[in-house]
Structure 1
Amino acid sequence: MGYRPSTLLVTGGAGFIGSNFVHHMLRADTRVRIVNLDLLTYAGSLDNLLDLPDHSRHVFVHGDICDRPLVDRLLHEHAIDTIVHFAAESHVDRSIADPRDFMRTNVEGTFTLLEAARAAWPEQDSAAPARTCRFHHISTDEVFGSLRPGDPAFVETTPYAPNSPYSASKAASDHLVRAYFHTYGLPVVTTHCSNNYGPRQHAEKFIPTVIRNCLAGTRIPVYGDGQNVRDWLYVDDHCDALQRVLTQGKAGETYNIGGCNEWRNSDVVALICRLLDERLPERAPHRRLVEFVKDRAGHDRRYAIDTAKIGDELDWGPAEDFETGIARTIDWQLGLTL
């Protein structure tokens, strides 16, 4: 029998993936209520929550996941049975410039939530907690480090080898979540996703930067030689997978979620430019704006996700291919801009 969430505490639910998940869950399950805790830093915006399917089942709380009294109060006042933990500092360039906030939010924040959940959900030695509550920790494929051309894709048992302060902080939080399952029996699941893209993504990220700069007619910065490879996952597919893991995944397990779309950065830019040339021919060719810039420090060469486990055990696979997903993303951005 699967897990049936009732009232979710979604951390970071005004950010890119978190807000898309809030939209998804309110559409997909008319029984659930969501308490959305977000500090509204640069990465979060209430604009992402303006057009929710049902505002009556959504409560927004402006606050910090490191604020233990606040988290305790929310868990008890709203009878939270499920925590879906998105809140994180996730911009690699920012982590290189100033890693302190990444350690606080990603490590201390996760620790605070785990401790609050452990206090709110009575410890049991049996499998009962897996049926009555759930802590879903959202992580990243970056904890596994970098792949060389021809290397097999990351699997759930790939050794951790983080190469940036961001990925190191996420790796630390993953280890905490695992420890709370094995030490305290806390019913956790962890998911590692590949690079997301789609509506509501922060403007600093790679794909929004390319689209925005094309529309503004300004240079498109591409790190190094543009040959870095990423596995791109459309955010709606990610949210569908998260719901599948939350409701059908086994407590204590980790699941990799990928888009099965490995693209070089230079090819991503070329695709976006081609699609914008078709939509805005008077501004073509957009590729004239490309400018290769000095590579990022510690820039991982390639990420790739093996989705066999989630496919075999939970019957999930991505519905969107990269070209159609990018087209949808561009059209969404054009709807805001033009």
Structure 2
Amino acid sequence: MGVYKYGFILTAIHDLVTSLCVVLSIPKVISRNSYVIFIATGHVSNFPYGQILLIILFQMMFLSLLILTNSFIYRYIHICKVTKLYQQFTSKTLVSIKSIQLFEDTKAATKHNLVAIQGTQLSYIYTRRKCVIVLFAVNILILLNCGLIMVVCSWPNAEFREQLYSEQVEFDISALKQKSFLGFSMKHSVNTLTIILVIDGMLMMSVFSVIGSYCTWGIRSMFKNTSLSNNTKKAHRKMLRILLLQSTCPTVLLYAPTSVCYVLLFASVPATSSVTDALGITLLLYPLFNPLVTIFCVKDYRRFLINAFVKKKPTLNVQSIGLADRNVYVPFSKTTN
């Protein structure tokens, strides 16, 4: 599986942490004309522990988007770039390797060599330690940026809390003061910094959407324009369908209800308790369906989980050793991984 093994590990950790945060905090959505909050109502709902769980839960939401984006990029590079590189090398007659002359046409050699070198570097980006470190650092920076947006824009200040206490939002004041929640208020959360960070978050989401759409379009185009074998095309099409299905789950169960909450807020549309309850239930379904989709659709992921949690029994290997005029059978215990 190569580098994909680390993607499986990250996916398993993401699903486990998300499920634990949801079960322990049970976030509930409350929306009014001037604010929207996600309040913890589970066993771990008191401040500050419930607040920590909500922060981790929202970070897991951002992480799911990063995992999907990286999966699309990985699949795009290993389908499109490697195939294009193969076509560039086979479209011209290769000559002396010792002189590093790839094509007979010397005028076009520089251009073709540059494209080939770029394609090679791009296709092997996941096998080079420095490149992997850079990719890891970029993803960490994106997560830190998301965390900054969440804390600055969603952490309730004293004025925001007083507004909720005065309205007695579905809880009495003494209970509400102990509850942990994150949210956004049009009265008390809007300032220059939060506006900049909200725009930053919207741009980041747009970039991720464009990357996913571009990779999907590139992969589908490659199926039509290349001379790949039918079996190879079938395997790549299956993987693309799995990626799209994996994208559908968080889009429908995470991003859509969260976006609806903020659209209702910014548009000043009043929402009934039945609407907010439906949005909250939709969010709670994500940690149930997301791992199931991955487990049932990705065969390698199932094998990874089985190998990680199920210990294989040692098998008895019997080897024969000839001593003098007879054979002595010596058993060797060997554990297969």
Question: Which one has the bigger helix percentage?
Answer: 2
Q: Which structure has the larger Rg?
A: 2
TM over 0.5: no
| Greater RCO (CA < 8 Å, at least 6 residues apart) | 2
TM-score (norm: length of structure 1): 0.25
